[in-house]
Structure 1
Amino acid sequence: MTISSSLDSIGFGYRPRAAYACDPAKTRGRLHPEPASPTRTPYQRDRDRIIHSTAFRRLKHKTQVFIAHEGDHFRERLTHTIEVAQIARALARALCCDEDLAEAIALVHDFGHTPFGHTGEDALNAKMAAWGGFDHNAQSLRIVTKLEQRYAEFDGLNLSWETLEGLVKHNGPLTDAFGNGLKGPVPGSILSYNALNDLQLASHASLEAQCAAIADDIAYNAHDIDDGLRAGLLTLPMLEGVSLPGRILAAVRNRYPGLDDSRTTHELVRRQITMMVEDVIVTAKAKLERIAPQSADAVRQAGETIVAFSDGMAEEERELKKFLYKNLYRHPSVVIVRAKADQVVRDLFDAFFQDTSLMPEDWCAGLDEAEEAEKAMAIADFLAGMTDTYALKEHQRLFDHTPELR
């Protein structure tokens, strides 16, 4: 592994950075050129803009698995996002990448999520089917390139090319070399922006973006267990039959006989995160040795995801996801609440589509004369930006009966 100690452009000291890492001094820049900051690298500046955005604050009141008001200790999008950012930084540090870029991508990756988690996204996707559907990743891009309207000289946050690339492609390439979508049609909002600022949709993303992507998996695999146990939908004996948490629990009980369930749960969660992080680091380093990329672009053209689980860990992770899907995400009590949340989103979309004046004035201006597609997109933007609590209040304002999401 070739590592150079290059002086940061801000002059605050040396950081070890591998040849394959993204170098902030060599950024491809921003769509709207801006003078360089004298105190921050471009990626540090991106991170700060993301944290200070309205969309970031909204994450506090958006569902992760459980509806936000069900309990003070369940994770919502904001705490999940912070946990992902911490793991992404740890991976980037171990792999000698740019930690700030990995953190920025992790912090922005969930901006496009609707209220009520994936339930809201599924409902909005169904309502938008005639106009290309709804995709939370594409919505994240819309937010940071258009919908955040805070700066005097441009819409959006005007993030660096590398952060936007990581946001759009952190789960891998979107198209083949001929522009054909690899997982179905590429959302129109991504294609529209890509025409202005080519994000190279056919290539993999940077190593920093890959760190953020797998950090997301590591975080929710562990913390959904934690929340599921807190909610009483999962039990420690249930987890004993699942390979990864089962062997961790066995080790904990062997070392700490008689440990109470609360501390046992914490030991399980923290050890699972550590085990998965260490597996990724070992696997990624072996791939880097084999591929020997000498630039960030060589990572993009490697033809494979470098920051990944080993084959054994990947199999255990698939087993864990299958278990969580069956016993947590599709638990009858969760399904009942999801159905109610689904109805809230569908009702709101229908009401706004029938009468756009029900939306705030700055959202409905000019929509009466707009084409259906433009009107639907504006409604989707408005709905996707709602928190759980605001969506419920809007439903209560417009309808005689609003379901209680419990």
Structure 2
Amino acid sequence: MTVETMMTRAAYAAVARAGRSRLHVEAKSLTRGEFRRDCDRLIHSTAFRRLAHKTQVFVYHEGDHFRTRLTHTLEVTQIARSIARALGLDEDLAEASALGHDLGHPPFGHAGERALDRCLAGEGGFDHNAQTLAVVTRLESHYAAFDGLNLTWDTLEGLVKHNGPLIDRTGVAVGRHADGGVAAEIRDYCRVQDLELWSHASAEAQAAAISDDIAYDAHDIDDGLRAGLFGLEDLAAVPLAGTVMREIAAAYPGVDASRRGHELIRRLITRMIEDVIAESRRRFAALDAKSVDDVRRADAPVIAFSAEMAAADTAIKAFLLPHMYRHERVMRVMRDAERVVAELFGTYSADAAALPDEWRHGLGGAQARSRYVADFIAGMTDRYALIEHARLFATTPELR
């Protein structure tokens, strides 16, 4: 198949439609499509810029070469566009879904999310996908005519359904929402603009979601190697990674460890992308999908790994869990980070005077103070959270 053939638009690609466009009606752009405008609005948002100083796994001062939320997001975006291009999908929608997928993450990565979730335990907890929706629909405040970014229905759907449908057709919460229910932020927004939480997202949004997995697998291995949490030899028994390592050793027997590591990451990403493209083509054919609605109403995702690659993905994540995410060096820093977030939340909730002026003036609206405080903290960068903690407390951990 030629590059020109692969770039042909598929019948099941998403199309921006008037009935499912923006909540607030706007004049059409003379130079850009609707999904391209979404990408541009996300890139120019304040929340997107803040991703440069938010933790992926390692906090910012541990080194210049570790991933941040921003570099991770850009890597996800590149992979998503590659998959979308090969499958004839709308590249701009795939990009928008990738660009916005992490905007709701608080400082210090999953440590910050855990801390906020505990702080809000009595009020539904904290969900970063719901916070992403909050960011793009009400917290960004640059436009004269509306709050938020006024993104298209398709982009909002992809951000909310990053992990798949939230409810079944009867309205019962499913998956990770089964225990606590769908977050109030999402429920409330769907009363204004129904995002059809029971269906799958577009193939473009699904491409962004699986690109997130690919980026995590490959680049967390890269960061873990750079940090010295494990070595290349530790990957020998990991499915796919071990196979690729043996291929590299056979092809380049004298190459140094640094180049072997980069070659491993490059080949892992390529193998996973190629597998997704092949498996997704098989699923499209089996579904006989003729429109994006066929994709949304399918019984399973259409963008997916093969069974063999899904097992390899699971194995890589199983390796990274003890060797990286729960490594004592990482956990020690993350415990301190959780304390920073929890103490900020407690202080702001107890004393409104502790909030900066621009946030103090917003108190008294429809939101409970705890949710209002959570919105403020979730928008912080790592550095700003530490600065605020140092302003309010006698001692602040160094997070090293």
Give CA-to-partner distance per residue, 1:19-46, whole Å, 9 cap, x none: 1101236672100000110100000000
Q: Are 2:297 and 1:305 equivalent residues in the alignment?
A: no
Aligned counterparts of 1:360 and 1:386: Cα–Cα separation in 2: 12
Q: CA deviation at 1:179?
A: 1.2
8 Å Cα contact 2:225/2:231 also seen in 1: yes
Give the alignment of 1:1-400 within 5 angstroms: 16-24=8-16, 28-182=20-174, 183-184=177-178, 185-365=181-361, 367=363, 374-400=368-394
Give CA-to-partner distance per residue, 1:99-154, whole Å, 9 cap, x none: 00000110000000010000000000000111111000000000000000000000
The letter of the residue matching 2:377 is L
Q: CA deviation at 1:17?
A: 1.2
The letter of the residue matching 2:61 is H
Aligned counterparts of 2:45 and 2:34: Cα–Cα separation in 1: 17
Aligned counterparts of 1:66 and 1:366: Cα–Cα separation in 2: 33
8 Å Cα contact 2:16/2:154 also seen in 1: no
Aligned counterparts of 2:99 and 2:346: Cα–Cα separation in 1: 32
Q: CA deviation at 1:404?
A: 1.1
Q: CA deviation at 1:68?
A: 1.3
8 Å Cα contact 1:207/1:296 also seen in 2: yes
Unaligned runs of 5+ in 1: 6-14
Q: What TM-score comes out, normalization by structure 1 length?
A: 0.95
The letter of the residue matching 1:245 is A
Q: CA deviation at 1:303?
A: 1.2
Aligned counterparts of 1:41 and 1:163: Cα–Cα separation in 2: 13
Q: CA deviation at 1:365?
A: 2.1
Q: CA deviation at 1:16?
A: 2.4
8 Å Cα contact 1:60/1:78 also seen in 2: yes
Q: 1:393 to 1:245 in 2, by over 3 A?
A: same
Give CA-to-partner distance per residue, 1:361-394, whole Å, 9 cap, x none: 2212263x578x6100110000000000000000
The letter of the residue matching 2:200 is H
Q: 1:26 to 1:207 in 2, by over 3 A?
A: farther
Aligned counterparts of 1:245 and 1:59: Cα–Cα separation in 2: 29
Identical-residue share of aligned pairs (%) = 55
Q: 1:366 to 1:310 in 2, by over 3 A?
A: closer
Q: Which position in structure 1 is the counterpart of 2:396?
A: 402
8 Å Cα contact 1:27/1:162 also seen in 2: no
The letter of the residue matching 2:383 is T
Q: 1:26 to 1:296 in 2, by over 3 A?
A: farther
The letter of the residue matching 1:348 is L
CA-based RMSD: 1.6
Q: How many residues align?
A: 393
Q: 1:271 to 1:26 in 2, by over 3 A?
A: farther
8 Å Cα contact 1:59/1:77 also seen in 2: yes
Q: CA deviation at 1:232?
A: 0.4
8 Å Cα contact 2:16/2:152 also seen in 1: no
Q: Which position in structure 2 is the counterpart of 1:8?
A: none
> Aligned to 2:9, what secondary structure does the other structure show?
strand
**Which deviates further from its counterpart, 205-214 or 357-366?**
357-366
Aligned counterparts of 1:327 and 1:49: Cα–Cα separation in 2: 38
Aligned counterparts of 1:277 and 1:294: Cα–Cα separation in 2: 23
The letter of the residue matching 1:84 is V
8 Å Cα contact 2:85/2:91 also seen in 1: yes
Aligned counterparts of 2:267 and 2:326: Cα–Cα separation in 1: 26
> Aligned to 1:24, what secondary structure does the other structure show?
coil
Aligned counterparts of 1:142 and 1:248: Cα–Cα separation in 2: 41
Q: What TM-score comes out, normalization by structure 2 length?
A: 0.96
Task: Give the ranges of 4+ consecutive aligned residues of structure 1 lying more than 3 Å apart after TM superposition.
Answer: 24-27
Aligned counterparts of 2:173 and 2:238: Cα–Cα separation in 1: 35
